[in-house]
């Protein structure tokens, strides 16, 4: 079965760092891009950025550029989303999603989501 399994919920304080993960299985991890999508409480979906696991090339939405970093470790088929200094406004559900096809920002497989809560 093709799936993406994300790490568990996190509760952090403002200013702390965090890395969440997304492990792919059932397919060739390096053959499909992975994106991260944010969903703030009660709100819609926002594309944050993506990585090509085959060469670690990334690009980011201007709204998230410089605030998050996306990376991947192909040896364990895992993509990461990390923050160096969290803000309360980072409180949200974060999904990783597999691109249906390279160059297309259509997402056919989604992780179950990781809830990040940032509160003092």
Partner 1 sequence: EIVMTQSPATLSVSPGERATLSCRASQSVSSNLAWYQQKPGQAPRLLIYGASTRATGIPARFSGSGSGTEFTLTISSLQSEDFAVYYCQQYNNWPGTFGQGTKLEIK
Nearest CA to 72 among 36, 39, 42?
36
Cβ–Cβ < 8 Å for 72, 80: yes
Q: Which residue has the tokens 């201007």?
A: 62
By C-beta, is 15 or 26 nearer to partner 1? Answer: 26
Closer to partner 1 by CB, 66 or 106: give it.
106
Would you say 44 or 75 has its CB closer to partner 1?
A: 44
Which residues, at least 6 apart from 64, have a Cβ–Cβ distance to it below 8 Å? 38, 48, 49
Encoded one letter per residue, x for contact with partner 1 by CB under 8 A and - for no contact, window 31-70 reads: ------x------xxxx-----------x-xx--------
CB contact at 8 A, 22 and 32: no
Contact call for residue 112 and partner 1 (CB under 8 A): yes
In the complex, the residues that contact partner 1 under the rule CB under 8 A are 37, 44-47, 59, 61-62, 95, 97, 100, 104-108, 110-113
């Amino acid at each position: 079965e093709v799936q993406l399994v994300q790490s568990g919920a996190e509760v952090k304080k403002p200013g702390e760092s965090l890395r969440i993960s997304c492990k792919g299985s059932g397919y060739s991890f390096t053959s499909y891009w992975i994106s991260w999508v944010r969903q703030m409480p009660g709100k819609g979906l926002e594309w944050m950025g993506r990585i090509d696991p085959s060469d670690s090339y990334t690009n980011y939405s201007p709204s998230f550029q410089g605030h998050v970093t996306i990376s991947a470790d192909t040896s364990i088929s895992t993509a990461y989303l990390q923050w160096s200094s969290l803000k309360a406004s980072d409180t949200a559900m974060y999904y990783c999603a597999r691109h249906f096809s390279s160059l297309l920002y259509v997402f056919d497989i989604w992780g179950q989501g990781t809830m990040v809560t940032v509160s003092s």
